[in-house]
Chain A
Amino acid sequence: MKSDFNAASHLDVMSAALNLPIPAERRAGVEQFLAVAFAMSEVVKTAPVDPDHHELAAVFRPGSIAVKP
C-alpha cells in the first residue's frame, strides 16, 4: 500500500516535537529534502527482506572499566 506523505504537515509536527523551529525562509528547502527522503524510503520498502530477520548491522561491544588517572 502506498503511503500518503505530506512534507509540510510532517515538518510542522516534527519541528514541534524536536524543538527544532524552522524559519519560514527555510521551509521550502527542508520540505524538498523531506520529499526526497520519502521517495527514498519508498524505494527501500521494495526490498524483499525476510520478515523474520531483524539484524540492523549495529555495532556495540561492551568494553572494559576505565582506569581513572
Chain B
Amino acid sequence: MSVDVFTPAHQLASQVSSGEVTAETVVNAFLQRISHVNPLVNAFTDVLKERAIAQACAIDVARARGEALGPLSGVPIAAKNLFDITGIPTRAGSKINRERASAARDAVLIERLTAAGAILLGGLNMGEYAYDFTGENVHDGACRNPHDLGRMTGGSSSGSGAATAAGCAPISLGSDTNGSIRVPSSLCGVFGLKPTYGRLPRTRSFPFCDSLDHLGPLARTTTDLALAYDVMQGPDTEDPVCAQRPIEPTLSALMKGASGLRIAIADGYFASDGMSEAKAAVDVVSTALGVTKKLVLEGAAVARAAAFIITNVESSAFHLQRLREQADDFDPDTRDRFLAGAMLPASWYVDAQRARRWFHDEMMELFADVDVIIAPATPTIAPELGQRTLDIRGETVLLRPNLGLFTQPISCIGLPVATVPVFAGPLPMGVQLIAPPWREDLCLRVAYALERDGVAVAKPPSLRAP
C-alpha cells in the first residue's frame, strides 16, 4: 500500500494500529519524501534513518504480538534542533554548539511522543539560538517556504514549519519565546499550538530566554495538534518552570467547536488596517465565527517592549562567555543583538518584568468577559528571502524584529494560542486564537471549528520555485 504523506497523523496511527499499513512502510515513505523535498526546503539538519526504521520495526513487531499500541503509533515526527536527540549534539541552530558532546538522552517531550508510538525522523533547521523570526541561518542555510521557495518560512522554528507544511513530518516540535511557533505556522500554512507558559516541560532542550521559553507542536490538523499536545502534558520536576499540573486532555472536547464561547477580535495594537493579507485572514475567521465584537488590549505595546527587553537581557547573559570567546562564530544577524543585550541596565530588565505582571493583570480582567481573542499571527504573508524591511501601516520598519509584532505581547504573559492557517490568497496567513491561561482546550476547540468548516486548512504546498 502506498502512503499519502499528507494523511493526518491520527489517521496514519489508525492505519498502523489496524494493520492496514506497517509502520516501516510509513517511515520509508516519509524518508523518501524527505530525500526528495529537503534539498528544496532545507528543513532537516539531521535525518535519523536507522533509528526511525528500527523504531518502526519494533512497532510492527509489537502489533504482530498483539500488544496495545499508542495513539501515535507509526506517526513520523521531527524536532527543532534545540531539542536533545540521543546521539547528536544539540546545535540550537548555531555553529558553536556543534562542538558539544552528543546528547545522552532525548528531550522529555520527544520521549513522551515516542512512548505514544511516534517515530522521530530527525532534527530541524532553526534560527541561531532561537533569536530569529525569518528562518534564515548563515550556518545551515535558509529554510525555504514550501509554498514558494523564494520566500521565508518564518522562525525561529523554521524547519518545523517547513517540514510539516511540505509533508515531511505530520507533527513537528518547535519552541516559542516571542512567536517562534506561531510565525512559521503562519507563513508556512500549518496549525501551531503555543501552550500556556509552564505547561509543557522544557527538560533537555537548549534554552533561549528562561522567562519566556515555551515548547509546543505544529501539525496539519487540529486533531493532530491536540493529540500530540495531550500526550506531551504532565509534570516534570527537572524544569523549574513547569507548573506540574495534571494532564488536562483537549482531544475529547474538540467537537464542541466554538459553540457557547464568547469570542472577540483584538483591536487597537492588533488592528490589521493597512495590512491587506492580515486583515483578509482575520476577516475570514471572524466572519466564519460570526464575531463582530472588538476589544482593545490595553498595554499590548508595553508587553511587546517588555518581551523584547527580557529576551535581549536573559539570552545575552546566557551567551556572554560565548560572546567573549567566540563572537566570530555567531550568525552576524544575531551577534549584534546579543552583544547589545549584554549591556542593558538592570533596571530596564526589572521594569520589563514588572510591566509583564501589570499587562497580565489587565488581561485577566479582560478575560472575565471573553473566552477567545482573534488576532493576526503576522503582519504579512511570507516575505522574500533576504528581505530586510517591511512596510507596516505606511511605515518602513526592520523586518526581523517586526515579524513578531502580533505574537510578542501574547507570549510575554504566557497565554495559550492556537494558530490556524488561512488561505485568503495564494499564500497562507495565520490567525491567532488566544485563550486564558491553562485553557488550551478553548483555542483548540475554535481551531477545530474553523477547520471543520473549511476555513482553516493546511493545503499541500506547491514547492514552486521563485
Contacts and interface: CB of A to CB of B under 8 A. Distances in A.
Contact of B302 (A14, A22, A26, A47): A47
A43 B351 CA distance: 10
Contacts of A32: 336, 340
Interface residues of A, number: 37
B340 A30 contact: yes
Contact of B342 (A18, A54, A59): A18
Interface in A10-36: 10-11, 14-15, 18-20, 22, 26, 29-34, 36
B358 A11 contact: no
B382 to A, nearest CB: 24
Interface string B269-307: 000000000000000000000000000000101101110
Nearest to A21: B324
B29 interface: no
B357 A26 contact: no
Size category of the B interface is: 35 or more
Given A33-B336, A60-B240, A44 B343 contact: no
Interface string B307-345: 011001000000010011001000010011101111111
Contacts of A65: none
B211 A26 contact: no
B354 A18 contact: no
B220 interface: no
Contacts of A33: 312, 336-337, 339-341
A69 to B, nearest CB: 14
B353 A40 contact: no
B77 interface: no
Contacts of B357: 49, 53, 55-57
Nearest to A23: B327
B353 A57 contact: yes
A10 B343 CA distance: 8
Cβ-closest 10 pairs across A and B: A29-B336, A33-B340, A14-B343, A43-B305, A47-B355, A40-B305, A56-B353, A41-B348, A40-B308, A47-B302
Given A47-B299, A57-B357, A61-B240, 19 more contacts: A20-B339, A33-B337, A37-B308, A37-B309, A40-B309, A41-B305, A41-B309, A41-B348, A41-B351, A43-B302, A43-B304, A43-B305, A44-B306, A44-B309, A47-B355, A49-B351, A59-B240, A60-B240, A63-B237
Interface of A: 10-11, 14-15, 18-20, 22, 26, 29-34, 36-37, 40-41, 43-50, 53-61, 63
